[in-house]
Amino acid sequence: MSEKYDVVIIGAGPAGYVAAIKAAQLGLNTACVEQWLDDKGKILLGGTCLNVGCIPSKALLDSSYKFAEARDHLGVHGISVEAATINVPAMIARKDNIVKQLTGGIAGLFQHNGVTAISGTGKVIAGAKVEVTDKDGNVQIIEAANIIVAAGSVPVHIPPAPLDNEYIIDSTGALDLTEVPGRLGIIGAGVIGLELGSVWGRLGSDVVMLEALEEFLPLVDAQIAKEAAKILKKQGLDIRLGARVTNAEVKDGAVEVSYSSAGSEHVETFDKLIVAVGRRPRSEELFTTDSGLTLDERGYIYVNDFCETEAPHVYAIGDIVRGPMLAHKGSEEGVMVAERIAGKQAQMNYDYIPGVIYTHPEVAGVGQTEQALKANGIDYKVGIFPFAASGRALASSEAEGMVKLIAHAETDRILGCHIVGPGAADLVQEVVIAMEFGSSAEDLALTVFAHPTLSEAVHEAALAVDGHAIHIANRKKRK
């Protein structure tokens, strides 16, 4: 009989590996099962985020932006760069080295904290046990006092555009292109599509984005989404809303895409086509019917607010459960569950989880949007500050976008913050912290911010909530 563990985790992505490290730090005998292997057949930790998601995409976004800046934007600073070129294989190699460094770092943390890494595909079976099948088909049963399922998610595929992994690819394949496509089609103008479109558009691709929805970024504050669309289109992204793809096929070394829009049929030809219509939970073949786990109507494992499943001592976290598919959401769930297993009364606040789109400028938000507040009949007030009025933003030639702060009309408590602009991902975190402590807009307005900084835009937006902004003309407030 194999060793019995206090905690066995299925999946070593941001949710799983964080849960494993935290559980081990709390003195629990912990094992983590992961099915991914590197090109040498060795267990590969980090999941989608580190290997084919968050980290590699940000590496390419950074490289492509530096190239575009050198080619198009340094002249205003008096810097002349003649005939800037991009070495795509070198860019991809840099991305791969970053991934290798970080995944190797997790392996080192597992070793340091005493986490046992088990290579294979894990499945929850009856009796709170985990069945592990390795790459050679060998099966072992692992006993666990507690199980945490953190199996993650996979890209959604659509029948009209079947992948061939050469001309029609998903988000994973889009991270390993060896040359810049002349004309690039992207199905989906959500977070993934916009980030990938930004990478290859900066490098010279003619990017056309086909989005089935009529509304751009519907979960983002509508005013911020409108401003983001204006900026991204000015950068060259051809974003076509209400464009429903009906067929895609490879013809003569190119992809012919048919789509319907506004009652008309259209055909476009691309060198490459990226399918980026979202992700779904990887819940198939993850547990047996007698394990006690159940799925909801969207394929997520059913859990309560503490990530407990309907099976005793079995938890599920990350992309495999309800809520936004965000690495940081899964990581914090992993910490909460590990602490609860260890006997602590841990909980998680799902109201203040920030979301970010890493275009340039970035789009970030936390809390409620203006359209959601209107729909729910909640009275609110808004403060807006444009980066065009920020000295630091102007000095950096990064003056597009705005900060929007929303507060309750009576209590002044901050209800949401939404930003499109330079450093939005970091700026919104200031407001996340403020909201976590129940701050009012006045609390932020009374806080001293360093000058000159981009963060002053948050300060001015807080001042603007009550018409007290200093560096813009204040708008008349609603009566």
Angle in degrees, 0-180, between the axes of helices 456-464 and 424-436, rounded to the nearest 10: 50
Task: Point out which residues pair with 247 in neighbouring strands.
Answer: 258
Identity of residue 54:
C
Q: Which residue has the tokens 């799925």?
A: 295
| β-pair partners for 170 | 275
Backbone angles phi, psi at 187, to 5 degrees: -90, 110
Nearest to 48 by CA among 275, 238, 272, 319: 319
CA dist 254 and 183 (Å) reads 10
Burial 398-413 (b: 16+ CB within 10 A, else e): bbbbbbbbbbbeeebe
CA distances from 215 to 59, 237, 464 (A): 29, 16, 28
pLDDT tens per residue across all 479 residues of the chain? 467 999 999 999 999 999 999 999 999 999 999 999 998 899 999 999 999 999 999 999 999 999 999 999 999 999 999 899 999 999 999 999 999 999 999 999 999 999 999 999 999 999 989 999 999 999 999 999 999 999 999 999 999 999 999 999 999 999 999 999 999 999 999 999 999 999 999 999 999 999 999 999 999 999 999 999 999 999 999 999 999 999 999 999 999 999 999 999 999 999 999 999 999 999 999 999 999 999 999 999 999 999 999 999 999 999 999 999 999 999 999 999 999 999 999 999 999 999 999 999 999 999 999 999 999 999 999 999 999 999 999 999 999 999 999 999 999 999 999 999 999 999 999 999 999 999 999 999 999 999 999 999 999 999 999 999 999 999 776 54
- The CATH architecture annotation of domain 5-155+280-348 reads 3-Layer(bba) Sandwich (3.50)
Q: Is 75 exposed, middle or buried (0-12, 13-18, 19+ CB in 10 A)?
A: exposed
CATH number of the domain located at residue range(s) 168-277 in this protein: 3.50.50.60
**What was the pLDDT predicted at 3?**
76
Residue 316: both structure tokens together: 């599920």
List Cβ neighbours of 349 (8 Å cut-off, separation of 6 or more): 436
Residue 248 is encoded by which pair of tokens?
């895609």
Same fold, 5-155+280-348 and 168-277: yes
Q: Where are the domains of the chain?
A: 5-155+280-348, 168-277, 352-464
**Euclidean distance between the first and final Cα of the chain, in Å?**
73
CB neighbours (10 Å) of residue 305?
Answer: 9
Instruction: Give the separation between CA 142 and CA 131, rounded to whole angstroms.
Output: 6
CA distance 168 to 416: 39
Q: Which tokens belong to 4?
A: 């019995």
The answer to whether 451 is a known catalytic residue is yes
Kindly give the interhelix angle for 327-341 and 14-25, rounded to the nearest 10 degrees.
Answer: 30
pLDDT of the residue at 1: 45
Q: And the tokens for 460?
A: 């001015």
The SS3 call for residue 289 is helix
The matching CATH number, chosen from 2.60.40.10, 3.30.390.30, 3.40.50.2300, 3.20.20.120, for 352-464 is 3.30.390.30
> Looking up tokens 């190119």, which residue turns up?
254
pLDDT at 2: 62
- What does DSSP assign to residue 100? H
DSSP-assigned states of every residue in 441-453: HHHHHTS---SS-
DSSP bridge pairs for 346: none
At 231 the three-state DSSP class reads helix
Q: Are 225 and 232 in contact (CB under 8 A)?
A: no
Q: Are 386 and 472 in contact (CB under 8 A)?
A: yes
DSSP string, 181-194: -SEEEEE--SHHHH
Q: What is the dihedral of CA 60, 61, 63, 68, to 10 degrees?
A: 140
Helices and strands of the chain, counted as H and E runs:
12, 22
Question: By 3-state DSSP, what share of the chain in percent is helix, strand and coil, each rounded to 5?
Answer: 35, 25, 40
Enumerate the β-bridge partners of residue 132. 122, 140
C-alpha–C-alpha distance, residues 233 and 226, integer Å: 11
CB 307 within 8 A of CB 321: yes
Beta bridge partners of 434: none
Contact 245, 158 (CB under 8 A): yes
DSSP letter, residue 320? G
Distance CA 128, CA 143 (A): 7
Q: Which of the residues 328, 408, 451, 471 is marked catalytic?
A: 451
Complete DSSP assignment for 344-410 = ------GGG--EEE-SSSEEEEEE--HHHHHHTT--EEEEEEEGGG-HHHHHTT----EEEEEEETT
